[in-house]
Amino acid sequence: MKALSLRLSIGVLFALVGLFLGLFATARPLNDPTIRRFHDASDRQHAPFPTIQIRPVASGFASPVTVTNAGDGSGRVLIVEQFGRIRIFVSGTVLPTPFLDIHEVVSC
């Protein structure tokens, strides 16, 4: 059970990173002059790799299974817990009142 919780925690961490990276990503047209193009193999050998950092942004969840945005433009992130709660993460804080709490009628 601990291995499953660890995998879920790691999955949620990567989902949060992907979500936040997706919020700040912008699409560029193919003819954008700021995009560096590689013309031969020697250029590829010296291309810098981007720096990626992973840091926790929230904790205290009970078996999180899904992370998604609210989809209403509010900037809220919803974290679904396996045991029937949907928690709200907004502006760097997990709100004390859940979006939905049906833990009394959910067994798993």
What domain range is 3 assigned to? Answer: 1-25+63-108
The domain total for the chain is: 1
Q: Is residue 53 part of a domain?
A: no
In a domain, 49, yes or no: no
Does 30 reside within a domain?
no
Q: What is the mean pLDDT of the chain?
A: 76
Weakest mean pLDDT among 1-15, 32-46, 50-64: 32-46
Q: Kindly state whether residue 14 falls inside one of the protein's structural domains.
A: yes
- Is residue 57 included in any domain, yes or no? no
Torsion sign, CA atoms 104, 105, 106, 107: positive
Is 21 inside any structural domain? Answer: yes
Model pTM score: 0.51
Dump pLDDT digits (tens) for 54-69. Answer: 888 888 888 899 999 9
Alpha-helical segments (H) within the chain: 2-24, 41-45
Residue 106 lies in a domain: yes
pLDDT tens string 64-85? 999 999 889 898 999 999 999 9
Whole-angstrom distance, CA of residue 64 vs CA of residue 84: 10
- Name 76's Cβ contacts closer than 8 Å, sequence gap at least 6: 69, 70, 88, 89, 90
Q: Which residue bears the tokens 């590689």?
A: 38
